[in-house]
A and B are shown apart, each in its own frame.
Chain A
Amino acid sequence: MTTVIEVSGLTKRYRDAVGVDDVSFRVEADTITGLLGRNGAGKTTVMSILTAQNFATSGDVRIFGENPYENPRVLSRMCFVRESQKYPDDAQPRHAFGAARLFFPRWDQSLADRLIDELQIPLKRTIKKLSRGQLSAVGVVIGLASRAEITFFDEPYLGLDAVARQIFYDRLIEDYSEHPRTIVLSSHLIDEVANLLEKVLVLDRGRVIMDEETDAIRGRAATVVGDAAAIDAFCKGRTVIHREDLGRMASVTVLGALSAADRRALADARLDVSPVSLQELIVRTTQNAQQTPAAHLQEGALR
């Protein structure tokens, strides 16, 4: 596989805060990566530095092996759909699409037309007067129809209803299958996009706390429910990332894949097991990282 994005030691410092703190990761060509994390974790900052719309304080960024700053060879191959994209005051969606068509060498007008129709975007209204959802839809059309070799979607679905979001996901899979390219998608709706992601990169307070294949994360943790004493026995020697007690019952989320022997032991002890969704696992991990600032170092299992 070819690495198309290579980030090492990326740091963005503001006057009295650190937005991105010594972040390193790689993205391989033709994959869909989820950039996940809480608000303010640094997702947008990382994406805007990668697309040369913001400056790093220190660290190194390579896109297609080159520095992206003022580098048209690299910039014309990338598309960044910002959550808060600004357009000129009197611009209408048809102007935005016209400009995108000129800028992106691989632009597909028939795909754009189809999406405009499906997402019901009014072409001749000024963008300023569009609803939040319609504004997001304009970004979705540009991001997909650009067919850019690397496309960044930053919370592309804000204001989109469930139907429009499903259209976005379906068209993304469809078009990506036929025209493989690199997609980086930031999202709060983790479970909604989990099945689209090949890799997951989780940022927390400017740091990378998870960088893994989605399939490897699945089954990484399980929730066990039942008699508290039996649970204590089962949890001995395991990493517990969450626990809730109710009388003599306990519900505990443990790290580590369960073996067949584990499952038999659980059945014998009459404990119920349920899978942990990607969203839940990330929430728990993020909480853990925040309770103990050095947790990301101790919990090697999660890295």
Chain B
Amino acid sequence: MIDDGRALFLQIAESVEDQIVDGSLAEESRAPSTNELAAFHRINPATAAKGISMLVDKGVLYKQRGIGMFVSPGARRQLLAERRTAFADRFVEPLLAEARTLGLGPDDLTDLIRERAAAAARSPERTAR
């Protein structure tokens, strides 16, 4: 995961967010500590701390004095909404750009997506791979 050119603390925050989004880190459960993150990703603890404090500022994690960090209730929904926008920026925008060069409009794209989704549903082993 690490090193796609963005600040490392952002990537660390994102790795924690990933776990919340995919459900492996449940709301109200204990989040990994700064030192655990530092040891796992082999990074400077200050960087891990920066990632954690960003998540606290965003309201994704909250601190329980003397115990540690916990996942806030509602964090998953908040992150999913955020990811939806990011998904559009990251995938839909380039998709539209490439479609334009091929002369495909939004309706053509919708048709294509439906077609492929239906094909994938018919032969699930293809998507499993």
Binding site for B on A (CB under 8 A): 31-32, 169-170, 173-174, 176-178, 180, 195-198, 214-216, 218-219, 222, 260, 264, 267-268, 270, 274-277
Contacts and interface: CB of A to CB of B under 8 A. Distances in A.
Contacts of A270: 101
B103 to A, nearest CB: 15
Given A268-B97, A275-B3, A215 B9 contact: yes
Contacts of B97: 264, 267-268
Interface in B1-25: 2-9
Interface in B84-106: 89, 93-94, 97, 101
B94 A177 contact: no
Interface residues on B, range: 20 to 34
A173 B39 contact: yes
A219 B3 contact: no
A275 B5 contact: yes
A178 B35 contact: yes
B50 interface: yes
Contact of A173 (B2, B6, B43): B43
B35 A177 contact: yes
A197 B8 CA distance: 11
Given A215-B8, A215-B47, A219-B6, 15 more contacts: A32-B44, A32-B46, A173-B38, A173-B44, A177-B38, A180-B45, A195-B42, A195-B43, A195-B44, A196-B42, A196-B43, A197-B44, A218-B6, A218-B7, A274-B5
Contacts of A219: 5-7
B5 A196 contact: no
B41 to A, nearest CB: 7
Given A177-B38, A268-B97, A215 B7 contact: yes
Contacts of A268: 97
A170 B38 CA distance: 9
B108 to A, nearest CB: 19
Contacts of A31: 46
B34 interface: yes
5 contacts: A170-B39, A195-B44, A197-B44, A264-B97, A270-B101
Nearest to A258: B5
Nearest to B40: A173
Contacts, number: 68
Given A174-B39, A260-B89, A267-B93, A196 B44 contact: yes
A31 B46 CA distance: 8
Interface of B: 2-9, 34-35, 38-39, 41-47, 50, 89, 93-94, 97, 101
Contacts of A277: 3
A173 B9 CA distance: 16
Contacts of A264: 93, 97
A48 B94 CA distance: 53
A216 B9 CA distance: 11
A198 B44 CA distance: 7
Given A215-B7, A215-B9, A177 B45 contact: yes
Contacts of B7: 215-216, 218-219
Contacts of A177: 34-35, 38-39, 45
A172 B35 CA distance: 12
Nearest to B9: A215
B60 to A, nearest CB: 20
Contacts of B94: 267
A270 B44 CA distance: 36
A31 B50 CA distance: 13
Nearest to A218: B7
A36 to B, nearest CB: 15
Contacts of B47: 195, 198, 214-215
A195 B89 contact: no
A195 B41 contact: yes
B91 to A, nearest CB: 11
A180 B45 CA distance: 9
A150 to B, nearest CB: 17
